Amino acid sequence: MSLHHVELAISASWIIPIIPKGRILEDSALIINEGKIVDIVLQSELQQRYQANSFIELKNQALIPGLINAHGHAAMSLLRGYADDLPLMTWLEEHIWPAESRWVNESFVRDGTELAIAEMLLSGTSCFSDMYFFPETAAEVAHESGIRAQIAFPVLDFPTPWGQGPDDYIHKGLALHDHYRSHDRINIAFGPHAPYTVSDDVLRQISTLAEELQAPIQIHLHETAEEVERAVSESGQRPSKRLAELGLLSPLAQCVHMTQVDESDLRVLKSSGAHVVHCPDSNLKLASGLCPVKDLLREGINVALGTDGAASNNDLSMLNEIKQAALLAKFQTMDASSLNAHDSLYMATMAGAKALGIDKQCGSLEVGKAADICAIDLSELTAQPVYNPASQIIYSQNQVSHLWVNGQHLVNQGKLSRINQESLIKRASAWRDKIRHA
């Protein structure tokens, strides 16, 4: 029997494909060719069926889909720890916005985005969503790094370092969308900042354009009780209802945070088909509130996970975010069976892919999908003994050993393949010194 020639075969003690949910394959191998998964076989069958140009054997390691960070502000990694221990609006209005006004430029975004991507790759993230100024620069850095990305260009009613107002932002954003229209790893989305920073006419325009282009929309929504209370006081409407009436909520919409959710919000989200992006660490640190994940899931609403920016989280590890989400769900419901290991891992993979509209490309280890693969080392002392690798990944501290995106080896034995880590640390330190001593 002739052997099939392929580019890469990766065998591991465990493979958690995500689809079907709850399945764990033991002593199996992924077969990869031209950047896609072409087969999943038992290790005992591998040499009988395939001849691979490269073969990687990962004993006592688990393969999972690359993690999907569905919301963040990558360049804000340069403001990590800059204004800690403050409530959201004080943090934003008195510290972050003034710092951004003074320091944010293309160079800041390039260095900050590269720093964030390096951290995300090393912690198992193969795809991230970004909403920040100078999205052209962020997209370029993502392209160069090899990571998969959704770049949401910001839209606000007022000037920022990137533009003069809504018309300017949308004009630049549409040009960016055209530039990356056929890119295999980078998608462009609309990023209206929040209901309290974008007016009705602009939101209607975004809704129309997004529907025409079938482009995603990501927006901060119901982030704090104060936001919702102020909206009701001023307009008589909860922000979710206002956005629904403006046509902004649809299966293209990604609603970030949603810490304040009542029954009317659940009905709006369910009927619209909009997605929710849960950012547990950031919401806890800013004391913004808790997203009612179990209520959302009960209604069939898709819930993805995001880290938010490093300025309001301090780390961009999706493994940390998954654990936090699982523990919070248990605490909120006072039910230890809430959001089990497989469900929380699903949120960080397949649910993220669905929210970003790329679930046909990635989010699970299935034949025909992109080879976005994360290998987690379960051989360390802190992982012993391994009864259930899924639980071990979620609840223990583990090391990401390898990461592939589109079959490209971006993390090899815990080391970045394309990014110069020493240079990056020096540049980040230079920004700290400049900002601190200003």
pLDDT attached to residue 372? 99
Expressed in angstroms, the distance from the first to the final Cα of the chain is: 71
Q: How far is CA 406 from the centre of its chain?
A: 17
CATH code at position 19 = 2.30.40.10
Q: Whole-number mean pLDDT of the chain? A: 96
pLDDT attached to residue 225? 95
pLDDT tens, position by position, for the chain (438 residues)? 679 999 999 999 999 999 999 999 999 999 999 999 999 999 999 999 999 999 999 999 999 999 999 999 999 999 999 989 988 889 889 999 899 999 999 999 999 999 999 999 999 999 999 999 999 999 999 999 999 999 999 999 999 999 999 999 999 999 999 999 999 999 999 999 999 999 999 999 999 999 999 999 999 999 999 999 999 999 999 999 999 999 999 999 999 999 999 999 999 999 999 999 999 999 999 999 999 999 999 999 999 999 999 999 999 999 999 999 999 999 999 999 999 999 999 999 999 999 999 999 999 999 999 999 999 999 999 899 999 999 999 999 889 999 999 999 999 999 999 999 999 999 999 999 999 887
Indicate whether 49 and 159 sit together in one domain. no
Does 420 reside within a domain? no
Domain count, the chain: 2
Does 213 reside within a domain? yes
Indicate whether 287 and 207 sit together in one domain. yes
Indicate whether 54 and 101 sit together in one domain. no
pLDDT attached to residue 170? 98
Indicate whether 253 and 337 sit together in one domain. yes
Indicate whether 117 and 247 sit together in one domain. yes
Indicate whether 238 and 379 sit together in one domain. no
Indicate whether 321 and 259 sit together in one domain. yes
pLDDT attached to residue 1? 61
Note the pTM of the prediction, 2 decimals: 0.97
Indicate whether 173 and 239 sit together in one domain. yes
Does 191 reside within a domain? yes
Taking the CA atoms of 157, 158, 160 and 165 in sequence, report the sign of the dihedral they define.
positive
Indicate whether 268 and 379 sit together in one domain. no
Residues 6+ apart with CB under 8 A from 345: 16, 18, 64, 322, 390, 393, 394
Indicate whether 28 and 95 sit together in one domain. no
Does 426 reside within a domain? no
Indicate whether 174 and 305 sit together in one domain. yes
Domain boundaries, position 221: 67-356
Does 417 reside within a domain? no
- Is there a cis peptide before residue 251, judged by omega within 30 degrees of 0? no
- Strand 67-69 and strand 217-221: the pairing is unpaired
Does 115 reside within a domain? yes
Indicate whether 305 and 343 sit together in one domain. yes
CATH code at position 219 = 3.20.20.140
Does 235 reside within a domain? yes
Does 382 reside within a domain? yes
Q: In angstroms, rounded to a whole number, what is the distance separating the alpha carbons of residues 390 and 330?
A: 17
